[in-house]
Amino acid sequence: MGLTSSRESPFLGRKFRQPPTLPVERCVPSPAVQPADHAPFRSILARGGDSVRKTPNRTRVGRGAVGAVLAATLVAGFGPAAVAAPAASDVAAAPAAATPVTTLANWPSPSGSVKVNATVPVPSSGLDGGMKRYYGIGDGGQSEKQDPMFELAPGATLRNVIIGAPAGDGVHCKGNCTLINVWWEDVGEDAATFNGGSSYTVDGGGARSGSDKVFQHNGAGTVTIRNFRVENSGKLYRACGNCSTSHQRHVVLQNVTATKVKTLVGINSNWGDTARFSNITVVGDSGRKTKICTRFQGVKKGSEPKELGSGPDGKHCLYRDSDIAWR
């Protein structure tokens, strides 16, 4: 049979097209969605009643029980899938509590004095000076190649020390080191020089009269200076700009108060140095002449670095106006 068939019309004497006869198929529900056998419910509904009453031979179930059974069956057979609890990785963590700002200590009075004639070695186990004043090394000036007052082994911590004058080249770190509550009354060549490690921390303390700079960073890695006072100095921190070996260096300043300081930080942008600042207070500079962060062009040994500019640049000198308070 084709799509259409023709036959003679007894009324018009002409042929007309007759729609084809299409096969009829039975619609059978998919086994996956076959309804459950509801015979038990028909039996229960036939009995009716609002209560459950026991008789010697049977128990009559009321409409309330029927509703409960129907609801349970519908949920089991056709209800929505259970919603899984979100995984721990999908739940946003609560923000960590902010670290409280530590109040800076006042300049301390020494508990005693210790005169030294040679560099004091500090082992990796560290040294607690008991807030005594150590002095007696060098000439108290800016001349190069002076011996340090303390030389720290890698991993050493020097704490609770007042370094008086003369103090030579201050503290030398030969690797990672920590300086806690160390005070420089009159910085000589430098207060401290960091070399040979990757992480150096200055926590607490203060420095005065570093006519050139306070902290000299010769090695690679990061210097963190926090809870610190600096007064009457040229620079608080300088990443070496003409050492025999060039490194990428980083410095972090947190909770630092500066009084009569020309520049807080000097870094070498061409070597990828960075400086980060938070909670910085500059005292006694109503004209805002203090440079927070100055970028230099690092050069090979024997040449002098060139100053490139100052201020935040979003790449090397990293801070906002709100990070600096002028008092």
Which range has the worst mean pLDDT, 85-99, 143-157, 159-173?
85-99
What confidence category does residue 286 fall into, taking pLDDT thresholds of 50, 70 and 90? very high
CATH T-level topology, domain 212-327: Pectate Lyase C-like (2.160.20)
Q: Are 305 and 273 in contact (CB under 8 A)?
A: no
Q: What is the pLDDT of residues 183-205, one digit of tens each?
A: 999 998 999 999 999 999 999 99
Q: How far apart are CA 191 and CA 216, in angstroms?
A: 8
Q: Are 296 and 271 in contact (CB under 8 A)?
A: no
Q: Are 135 and 113 in contact (CB under 8 A)?
A: yes
Q: What is the pLDDT of residues 235-259, one digit of tens each?
A: 999 999 999 999 999 999 999 999 9
Ranges of each domain in the chain:
212-327
pTM: 0.69
pLDDT at 278 over 90: yes
Average pLDDT over residues 70-84: 39
Q: Are 131 and 309 in contact (CB under 8 A)?
A: no
pLDDT at 229 over 90: yes
Q: What is the pLDDT of residues 86-135, one digit of tens each?
A: 333 333 333 333 343 456 889 999 999 999 999 999 999 999 999 999 99
pLDDT at 49 over 70: no
Q: Are 230 and 205 in contact (CB under 8 A)?
A: no
Residues 6+ apart with CB under 8 A from 326: 282, 285, 286, 288
| Helical (H) or strand (E) element with 25 | none
